[in-house]
Amino acid sequence: MTGWRRGVLLLCCIPAGVGLLGCGGGGGSGGPPPNRPPTASFTATPDGGPPPLTVAFDASASSDADGSITEYAWDFGNTATGTGQTIDNTYDRSGVYEVRLTVTDDDGSQATAMREIVVNVLPTPRIEADPVDGQAPVTVTFDASMSSDEDGEIVSYEWDVAGAPRTGVTNVEHAFEEPGVYPVRLTVTDDLGGAAEDVIEVKLRDDANVPYTLPNLPTPPNT
DSSP the chain: -HHHHHHHHHHHHHHHHHHHHHHHH-----PPPPPPPPB---EEESSEESSSEEEEEE-TT-B-TTS-EEEEEEE-SSS-EEESSEEEEEE-S-EEEEEEEEEEETTS-EEEEEEEEEE-PPPB---EEESSEEESSEEEEEE-TT-B-TTS-EEEEEEEETTEEEES-SEEEEEE-S-EEEEEEEEEEETTS-EEEEEEEEEEE-GGGSPP----PPPPPP-
43-119 and 128-209 share one fold: yes
Claim: this prediction has a pTM higher than 0.85: no
Q: What is the pLDDT of residue 212?
A: 43
pLDDT at site 10: 36
Query: What residue spans define the domains of the chain?
Result: 43-119, 128-209
128-209: CATH number: 2.60.40.10
- Residue 218 has a pLDDT of 62
pLDDT at 207: 73
For the domain spanning 43-119, the CATH number is 2.60.40.10
pLDDT of residue 206: 85
Show the low-confidence residues of the chain (pLDDT under 70): 1-29, 208-223
